Copies of this chain bind each other. A is one copy, B any other.
Amino acid sequence: MKRKRTSKRKTTVTIHDVARAAGTSPSTVSRVLTGSANVSAAKREAVLEAIQAVGYAPNLLARGLKTQLTYSLGLILNDIQSPFFSAAAKGAQDCAMQRGYAILLCDTGEEPAAQKRCLEMLRAKQVDGVIFAPTTGAAMILDSFLQAGTHFVQIDRQVEGLPISSVVVNDDQASYEAVHHLIANGYRRIAILTSELSVTTHDRRLGGFKRALSEAGLALPDSFVLRGRTSSSDGYRLAHKALSYSRRPDALFVTSSRLGVGALRAIRDARLRVRDDIGIVIFDDIPAFALMHPSITAVRQPAYEIGWKAAEIIIESLESEEPPPPQQVVLPAELVIRESSVPRR
């Protein structure tokens, strides 16, 4: 962790150098930089030229130290490789960039310990705000940060009962509709593949699933609720198990695309035909689902918009005089009906 300074810093050019080159004082240079006060057109010109001449670039560390504002936002995700989170990251990045903020990226891999380390690091870096998808154990860590006045907004998941803004989708309702759609298409023995993680996302999707079933008067054997971790191999394992039941399900509702990909592989390996032997709807759409034979019905989430909106909320709250009260934004997820849930004939 130790490191020596190399000769790198000889080239450090500061507002002093600019001032000297422009024949004025550092304060004046600072004023044209921030635009905070009036300076005569002549001086301003001189300064601007001097900046070019000496190749000056501002040092945001120094500025931040002085102003207590860093114009950077933390972004804590569980898996940047998932299409959902990478789209959200892009949305947040684009919005932040446009408003002059930078994004510090953290990937927790769903590890509470990593989540804690990320939060601490972000605090030490003095980020102005944090966008994050909480994983288990977030609540207790968060307290101290809220007291420190850090602005937060949660995405995808929610830690309930905390006065924090959030941007999520209508997990319950969208799941309800997806399952309702399966039922309407004649499927009766529907199993759910979901995560054992206690995050709101999966809980609510399970909730919508159950609601649709009970509303239709359909039974739900305990064995039809299959829980695992979130990798695609877990999806494989879960689906494999479900398909091995003597009375196996005739349809699957899967609460994440990763699990879904694994489940599809299991179906294939079991030599079962998607749609004819087993219907399937997956929560969270990925481009590949449209390409498959048969194509896969999925619930599309506005991931990019979620990320964008989260950044927007944070920046607004940062830049307003009175920090606005926490807001809960719920964006609609959309059922994209393809072939895997619609039997022929």
A: which residues have CB within 8 A of B?
Answer: 1-9, 11-12, 55, 57-62, 64-65, 67-70, 72, 75, 79-81, 83, 86-87, 89-90, 93-94, 97, 99-100, 102-107, 114, 117, 120-121, 123-126, 144, 147-149, 232, 261, 264-265, 268, 286-293, 318-319, 321, 323
A–B complex contacts, Cβ < 8 Å, 11 sampled: A11-B147, A11-B148, A12-B68, A57-B120, A58-B124, A61-B70, A72-B104, A72-B125, A75-B105, A93-B105, A265-B291
> A291 is contacted by which of B72, B126, B261 (Cβ under 8 Å)?
B261
Known A-B contacts A55-B144, A102-B121, A288-B291; the reply to A80 vs B72 at CB < 8 A is: no
User: Using Cβ atoms and an 8 Å threshold, which residues of chain B touch A83?
Assistant: 81
Complex Cα distance A11/B86, Å?
34
> Which of A68, A86, A289 counts the most chain B CB atoms within 10 A?
A86
> Which of A6, A83, A288, A291 counts the most chain B CB atoms within 10 A?
A291
Copies in the complex: 2
Interface contact A104-B107, CB-CB below 8 Å? no
* CB proximity of A70 to chain B, nearest CB, Å: 7
User: Using Cβ atoms and an 8 Å threshold, which residues of chain B touch A90?
Assistant: 79-81, 107
Interface contact B120-A8, CB-CB below 8 Å? no
Interface contact B323-A124, CB-CB below 8 Å? no
Determine the residue in chain B with the shortest Cβ distance to A267: B291
* CB proximity of A243 to chain B, nearest CB, Å: 16
> A94 is contacted by which of B107, B123, B144, B290 (Cβ under 8 Å)?
B107
